[in-house]
Amino acid sequence: MILNTELEYKGNLFPSHIISYEKNLDTLNFTTENGVILQITVQRDSVLRFRFTTSGIFENDFSYAITKYASRGYNHLEVEEEEDKYIIITAKLKCHVNKADLRTAIYDAQTNDLICEDELGFHWEESYEFGGDIVKMSKVAQEGESYYGLGDKPADVNLKGKRFENWVTDSYAYGKYTDPIYKTIPFYTALHHKKAYGIFFDNTFRSYFDFCQERRNISSFWAQGGEMNYYFIYGPEMSEVVANYTDLTGKPHQLPPLWALGYHQCKWSYYPEAKVKEITNKFRELKIPCDAIYLDIDYMEGFRCFTWSKEYFPDPKRMVKELADDGFKTIVIIDPGIKIDKEYSVFKEGLDNDYFCKRADGPYMKGKVWPGECYFPDFTNPEVREWWSNLFQELIEEIGVKGVWNDMNEPAVMDVPGKSFPDDVRHDYEGNPCSHRKAHNIYGMQMARATYQGLKKFAYPKRPFVITRAAYSGTQRYTSSWTGDNVASWEHLSIANIQAQRMCMSGFSFIGSDIGGFAEQPNGELYARWIQLGIFHPFCRTHSSGDHGDQEPWTFGKNITDVVRKFIELRYELLPYLYTAFWRYAEEGIPILKSLVLYDQLDTHTHYRSDEFICGEKILACPILEPNAKGRRMYFPTGEWYNYWTDEIVEGGQELWVDADLDSMPIFIKSGALIPKYPVQQFVGEKEIDELKLDVYFKIGKETSEVYEDAHDGYDYIKGRYSLRNFSLTGKTTELVIQQHKSGKYTTPYDTFKLQLHGLPFKIKKVIIDKVEYSFKDIQLNGNNSFIINKDFTDLHIL
């Protein structure tokens, strides 16, 4: 019997007394009388890895999640022994290990505050059904402790009081609290007494997390196989916890091309070619910016991956080129199921080379997906991934497709219980053969990885763009993602908001939802409100299922079209801001979207807020989540905030009503910020950017802002050809000083800046740029509001 609860512990076994301890560089092994070994590795001063074996022998140490680029090394490590415990001391932590039972307690090394303490600690059950152990861990929940993260769970931002399961699942039209859905990210951040820590349970078997649901003051996690193998990550800042988790599991291997941050239009399906053209032409005709157009499964011949329907798309290369000439990047879907068809070359190659997954007793894993009966490549075999990556040569190099969308990679199988492979299916798992019980949660990740390898190879010297539905921790290294088959409902708008924040807090920032909802059809109001949210999501795409009607920006009449255009235009203006936020994320693992708790964990009001979020570092946004709304109440975190539309200033630390008719939404800018903006373009690269607009939000005091730029594609930036501008603003009652520090070897196409001043409390008398006073005419001072600087200044004084 497989237990679904941590506490049904009739058969629970526990470690006994420590009988030996040894230390080897950064790794300590504690062995108990009953043969349990706890291995603690000091990855960094604030990151400890805990591994347990109940047999005295560890499995081969292999993880798909942990990147080889993860930082290792600490400033301090010593071990003290006391009568009842060992104490491992690093520069940041003290970890007590009880001699009696291996239970641990972790303290802040500086303050001695208790951060995380085992309750039962490690315990396990032997699984007679499958062999191996059901491995479990329970911890004491500290007073006021709250929990965040865990990937795409459609629950409230704070997970306290809930239990979750991790098993990637095709979940058409899921609802709030449906669990599990598409992704498995077994990482959470906990916060109590103003300090945060994280737990990453790197175990790919079906796993569970309980945040004080089963027992009020206990959090626990367990898995139906594998090792108890988890990383403890100390903050105390939440953002440090997430950054350190992202360091362990990897940042995106490269920046996305800038166009990927533009607006994307998708449908199941746009076909034939004439329909695709009708859609793209309409975007240009109505002047609604758009960078990417998607082809869903109907572009293929009988849903055979890597083929084209001759009837609907007779000349894909020409079409893709024509679309590209009009600024549209073509993105195609590729699913894992390969149709069983001896005339089909991909099938034949897979079969001849023995690349398909097999059942335990020998036959191939046969399952029904869109093309009918299929076999499925074993993406956990590096040779299969290499083969798969080469299948993209024609699509990318020849035809000119710019991105690939991996779907159904949970893997989804139709009309079977469990909607996926049976447990007995075998996988290579990088030479660690195993059953589907272990490989299920990483199957989609490895498919996306293989696809990524293909795009990276054949799109070179351009950057790859991949999107995946299924994911495990670490998938963010290769691909973007969306939240799967949601529904056109107001509730789902709120779910999309939470899921995007949660994914960002789970190390995976390149995320968005099907704008407007995949199933059913939104009305114009819901669609407009969803676009307003979507423009702040790192991945911004409208997608819907064809059987529920049209879902294009112009579907709902002129008023709605105008609102949608206005917000997509805003996204295009904000591209340099979003790109900078992406760069920060890719450099440091700082989430692009920050739930208010991540923004200010010291303010307890933020601990349960779900609607408001910070995008990048300086923009506070809060979607309207109800029909017929003229505005809403929202919470303002500490600081001073400018209403984006009116420049009215709001003091943080309070909840207030904000007006927002359908053509508006609550958007606020942090005072002191410089927000970089491009002119509106119909697609990225349409215009040569010859001037950067800087919206300057006056503040008394200091604030810094940054703008990252590079060629927006290609890899030169890795060789230093980027431009990073750091602006520091100092505001006084009668003076505003902006200093710029520039680094990097890239020369931006512009060296003209249009400064738009917001909230300047004095009348401008003088403008001094790099020690030279300029006449108002020279800088085209417009009222008291804006002026132009025709050079790359370093020192600006406005008096």
Q: Active site includes 202?
A: no
Q: CA-to-CA distance for 431 and 454, rounded, in angstroms?
A: 22
- Interface map 141-170 toward ligand GLC (x if CB under 6 A): ------------------------------
How many CA within 13 A on the CB side of residue 215? 16
Which ranges in 269-310 belong to alpha helices (H)? Answer: 273-286
Residue number, 378 or 485, with CB nearest to ligand GLC: 485
**Shortest approach of ligand GLC to residue 149 CB, angstroms?**
23
| Catalytic residue, candidates 407, 514, 525, 573 | 407
Q: CA-to-CA distance for 480 and 466, rounded, in angstroms?
A: 6
Q: CA-to-CA distance for 298 and 601, rounded, in angstroms?
A: 47
Residue number, 213 or 521, with CB nearest to ligand GLC: 521
Q: Does 636 bind ligand GLC (CB under 6 A)?
A: no
**Shortest approach of ligand GLC to residue 739 CB, angstroms?**
47
**Shortest approach of ligand GLC to residue 268 CB, angstroms?**
3
Q: Which two tokens stand for residue 99?
A: 């001699």
**Peptide linkage before 180 cis (omega within 30 of 0):** yes
**Peptide linkage before 236 cis (omega within 30 of 0):** yes
**Shortest approach of ligand GLC to residue 306 CB, angstroms?**
15
Q: Of how many residues is the chain composed?
A: 799
Q: Does 407 bind ligand GLC (CB under 6 A)?
A: yes
In the block, tokens 């237990």 appear at: 3
Q: Does 485 bind ligand GLC (CB under 6 A)?
A: yes
Q: CA-to-CA distance for 127 and 512, rounded, in angstroms?
A: 39
Residue in 109, 258, 295, 297 binding ligand GLC, rule: CB under 6 A? 297
Residue number, 7 or 414, with CB nearest to ligand GLC: 414
Q: CA-to-CA distance for 151 and 104, rounded, in angstroms?
A: 27
Q: Active site includes 407?
A: yes
Residue number, 170 or 617, with CB nearest to ligand GLC: 170
Residue in 268, 271, 579, 583 binding ligand GLC, rule: CB under 6 A? 268
In the block, tokens 């199941």 appear at: 268
Residue number, 418 or 431, with CB nearest to ligand GLC: 418
Residue in 36, 155, 260, 333 binding ligand GLC, rule: CB under 6 A? 333
- 274: which residues sit within 8 A by CB, 6+ positions away? none
Listed residue (452, 619, 655) closest to 533, CA to CA: 619
Query: Are 255 and 463 within 8 A, CB to CB?
Result: yes
Listed residue (284, 117, 103) closest to 217, CA to CA: 117
SS3 276: helix
- 52: which residues sit within 8 A by CB, 6+ positions away? 15, 36, 37, 38, 39, 102, 122, 124, 135, 227, 228, 229
Under rule CB under 6 A, which residues in 440-459 are in contact with ligand GLC? Answer: none
Under rule CB under 6 A, which residues in 459-478 are in contact with ligand GLC? Answer: 469
Q: CA-to-CA distance for 610 and 495, rounded, in angstroms?
A: 10
Residue number, 101 or 514, with CB nearest to ligand GLC: 514
- Residue 16 one-letter amino acid: S
- Interface map 1-40 toward ligand GLC (x if CB under 6 A): ----------------------------------------
In the block, tokens 């290792």 appear at: 72
**Shortest approach of ligand GLC to residue 518 CB, angstroms?**
6
**Shortest approach of ligand GLC to residue 410 CB, angstroms?**
10
Residue in 336, 484, 589, 639 binding ligand GLC, rule: CB under 6 A? 484
| Catalytic residue, candidates 101, 118, 485, 710 | 485
Residue number, 15 or 337, with CB nearest to ligand GLC: 337
Q: Does 293 bind ligand GLC (CB under 6 A)?
A: no
**Shortest approach of ligand GLC to residue 270 CB, angstroms?**
11
Residue number, 302 or 720, with CB nearest to ligand GLC: 302
Q: Does 298 bind ligand GLC (CB under 6 A)?
A: no
Residue number, 269 or 446, with CB nearest to ligand GLC: 269
**Shortest approach of ligand GLC to residue 483 CB, angstroms?**
10
**Shortest approach of ligand GLC to residue 333 CB, angstroms?**
6
SS3 163: strand
Under rule CB under 6 A, which residues in 34-63 are in contact with ligand GLC? Answer: none
* b/e per residue 439-453 (b: at least 16 CB within 10 A): bbbbbbbbbbbbbbb
What is the C-alpha end-to-end distance of the chain, expressed in Å? 76
Which ranges in 391-518 belong to alpha helices (H)? Answer: 436-459, 490-505
Residue number, 239 or 513, with CB nearest to ligand GLC: 513
Q: Active site includes 792?
A: no
Residue in 156, 296, 612, 710 binding ligand GLC, rule: CB under 6 A? 296
Listed residue (519, 513, 517, 523) closest to 547, CA to CA: 519
Angle formed by the axes of helices 558-573 and 575-588, nearest 10°: 50
Under rule CB under 6 A, which residues in 535-564 are in contact with ligand GLC? Answer: 543
Residue nearest to ligand GLC (CB): 268
Q: Which two tokens stand for residue 618?
A: 């300086």
**Shortest approach of ligand GLC to residue 469 CB, angstroms?**
6
| Catalytic residue, candidates 156, 410, 703, 710 | 410
Count of chain residues binding ligand GLC (CB under 6 A): 9
SS3 545: strand
Instruction: Give me the residues that bind ligand GLC (CB under 6 A), please.
Output: 268, 296-297, 333, 407, 469, 484-485, 543
Positions marked active-site: 407, 410, 485
